[in-house]
């Protein structure tokens, strides 16, 4: 029961949104495969990353095969390619030629050249949640295109990430205006 005549309505699903969509890359039998992940979050101040993946995803094979993955942040200009990776499974459709890839320290975590931000990660823990798994990765190294920096700091306006309403209307959005804190 809520206090003081406060009216609230229960919402199904998460209200913690929007979040940037990520293209998570794995290597399966020698070939890169990418899927879209909306439920993803950094923790431990960015040293680790967590994402939620259905056990039925083809990408699961790559997670278990190599215990590595990449996280790539697509910009708005990659919406069509991103949508392919989020709607077609590598089980039936070879997604290895959708993007040119590069590798860092981990030779089994393919990163997408055209994504302005990339991370290579090592799997440190897998949580079993019925039909889903929570994949926890240690971030080995992160990369940015130099043209995404302002005064040597990451400038999100230059990254132009695709945001996804993880709950709610499930549409894609772009970044809004920067806020300036009013003087008190």
Ligand X SMILES: Cc1cc2nc3c(=O)[nH]c(=O)nc-3n(C[C@H](O)[C@H](O)[C@H](O)COP(=O)(O)O)c2cc1C
Q: Which residues contact ligand X by CB under 6 A?
A: 21, 33, 35-39, 52-54, 57-59, 86-91, 164
- Omega within 30 of 0 (cis) for the link into 18: yes
In the bound state with ligand X, the residue whose beta carbon lies nearer, of 155 and 172, is 172
Residue nearest to ligand X (CB): 86
Cα separation, 119 vs 97, in Å, equals 20
Q: Least distance from C-beta 74 to ligand X, angstroms?
A: 11
Cα separation, 32 vs 109, in Å, equals 8
In the bound state with ligand X, the residue whose beta carbon lies nearer, of 40 and 148, is 40
Q: Least distance from C-beta 33 to ligand X, angstroms?
A: 5
In the bound state with ligand X, the residue whose beta carbon lies nearer, of 26 and 118, is 26
Identify any residues that bridge with 71 across adjacent strands, giving them in sequence order: 24, 119
In the bound state with ligand X, the residue whose beta carbon lies nearer, of 54 and 102, is 54
Q: Least distance from C-beta 153 to ligand X, angstroms?
A: 28
In the bound state with ligand X, the residue whose beta carbon lies nearer, of 21 and 117, is 21
Q: Least distance from C-beta 96 to ligand X, angstroms?
A: 11
Q: Least distance from C-beta 93 to ligand X, angstroms?
A: 8
């Amino acid at each position: 029961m809520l206090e003081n005549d406060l009216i609230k309505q229960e919402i199904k699903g998460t209200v913690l949104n929007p979040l940037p969509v990520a293209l998570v890359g794995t290597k399966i039998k020698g070939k890169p495969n990418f899927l879209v992940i909306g439920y993803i979050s950094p923790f431990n101040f960015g040293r680790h990353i967590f994402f939620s993946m259905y056990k039925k995803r083809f990408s699961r094979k790559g997670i278990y095969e190599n215990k590595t993955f990449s996280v790539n942040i697509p910009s708005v200009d990659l919406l069509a390619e991103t949508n392919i990776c989020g709607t077609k499974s590598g089980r039936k459709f070879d997604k290895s030629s959708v993007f040119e890839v590069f590798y860092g320290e981990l030779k089994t975590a393919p990163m997408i050249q055209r994504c302005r931000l990339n991370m290579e990660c090592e799997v440190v823990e897998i949580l079993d949640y019925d039909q889903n798994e929570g994949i926890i990765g240690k971030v080995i190294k992160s990369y940015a295109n130099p043209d995404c920096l302002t005064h040597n700091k990451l400038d999100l306006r230059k990254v132009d990430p695709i945001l996804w309403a993880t709950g709610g209307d499930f549409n894609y959005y772009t970044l809004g205006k920067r806020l300036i804190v009013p003087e008190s």
